[in-house]
Amino acid sequence: MTATDPALTALSQRWCALSLLHGRIESHIERALETRHGLSVREFSLLDVLSRQHSGPGGHLQMKQVADAVVLSQSATTRLVTRLEDRGLLTRYLCATDRRGIYTDVTEAGLTLLAEARPTNDSALREALDEAAKNPELAPLVQVVEGVTAPA
């Protein structure tokens, strides 16, 4: 295969369409969350991921797992956690069984803000997908996104 191979060109075009869809969705959600709740998409995602933790075995995420879940580097995730901790939305504490481990929990204020922001996130996502579905290049990708079922 060469760089001008039609299969590579088509693959590249599909990748660009996927990137475009992601960017449009993220921008739309970002504007809605920031305007109504003072949250970025990353902050919302972090609160959402951390709110799903539980006190059972393996229920708390280490910072690397959190970073992977919100698709950020560990250093960017740590900065994000610090910002939300400064706002009183998160709290950090040492792991009881491994003093090197630091866990993060969502505070009551964080859970309240997350609950208030979730409908905004969901409706902005729906609006962005509906708008993207009108674009012939993006419509097939929207159908794929809508057809994916979440793991149990």
pLDDT per residue as tens digits for the range 67-113: 999 999 999 999 999 999 999 999 998 877 777 778 899 999 999 99
pLDDT digits (tens, 9 = 90+) for 120-134: 999 999 999 999 999
Give the model's pLDDT for residue 1: 52
- pTM: predicted TM-score of the whole model, two decimal places: 0.86
Over its C-alpha atoms, the chain yields an Rg (Å, rounded) of 19
Cβ pair 127, 31 in contact under 8 A: no
Q: How many angstroms separate the CA atoms of 97 and 32, rounded?
A: 41
Give the model's pLDDT for residue 60: 85
Give the model's pLDDT for residue 102: 82
At 2, is the pLDDT very low, low, confident or very high (cuts 50, 70, 90)?
low
Give the model's pLDDT for residue 95: 76
Amino acid (1-letter code) at residue 104: T
Give the model's pLDDT for residue 78: 93
pLDDT digits (tens, 9 = 90+) for 25-68: 999 999 999 999 999 999 999 999 999 998 777 788 888 889 99
Structural class in CATH, domain 8-143:
mainly alpha
E strand segments, 43-151: 90-94, 102-106
